[in-house]
């Protein structure tokens, strides 16, 4: 398989997808940091997660990418109420 040069991936319906490397690059952190956030539920859960294949739909991850602090505050408060 040829290495993908684009930062975002597209499926047949041209929906935008993000991979873990793109998210790490957005925040200038390592991929391991993003994985740590995932494990601690400090970011949205991926829409697809299989062995070595993790992807987020744009509508899932972009609110977090645009304002991670607000996203965490809103989602932590929702978990505490449940």
DSSP state of 67: -
Instruction: Write down the pLDDT at residue 68.
Output: 95
| Domains held by the chain: number | 1
6 within some domain: no
Dihedral class, residue 41 (left if φ above 0, else alpha if ψ from -120 to 50, else beta): left
Q: What is the pTM of this model?
A: 0.75
Instruction: Write down the pLDDT at residue 7.
Output: 53
2 within some domain: no
Dihedral class, residue 45 (left if φ above 0, else alpha if ψ from -120 to 50, else beta): beta
Contact 45, 7 (CB under 8 A): no
3 within some domain: no
60 within some domain: yes
The average pLDDT across 51-61 equals 93
44 is in which domain, residue-wise? 14-81
Tell me: pLDDT of 78 over 80: no
Closest CA to 55 of 23, 12, 81: 23
Higher-scoring residue by pLDDT: 82, 72:
72
Which CATH number is 41's domain given?
1.10.1660
pLDDT in tens, 2-43: 444 445 555 455 579 999 999 999 999 999 999 999 999 999
28 within some domain: yes
């Amino acid at each position: 398989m040829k290495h993908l040069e684009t930062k975002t991936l597209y499926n047949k319906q041209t929906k935008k997808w993000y991979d873990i490397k793109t998210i790490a690059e957005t925040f200038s952190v390592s991929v391991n940091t993003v994985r740590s956030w995932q494990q601690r539920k400090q970011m949205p859960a991926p829409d697809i997660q299989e062995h070595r294949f993790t992807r987020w739909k744009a509508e899932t991850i972009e609110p977090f990418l645009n304002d991670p602090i607000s996203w965490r505050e809103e989602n932590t408060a929702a978990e505490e109420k449940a």
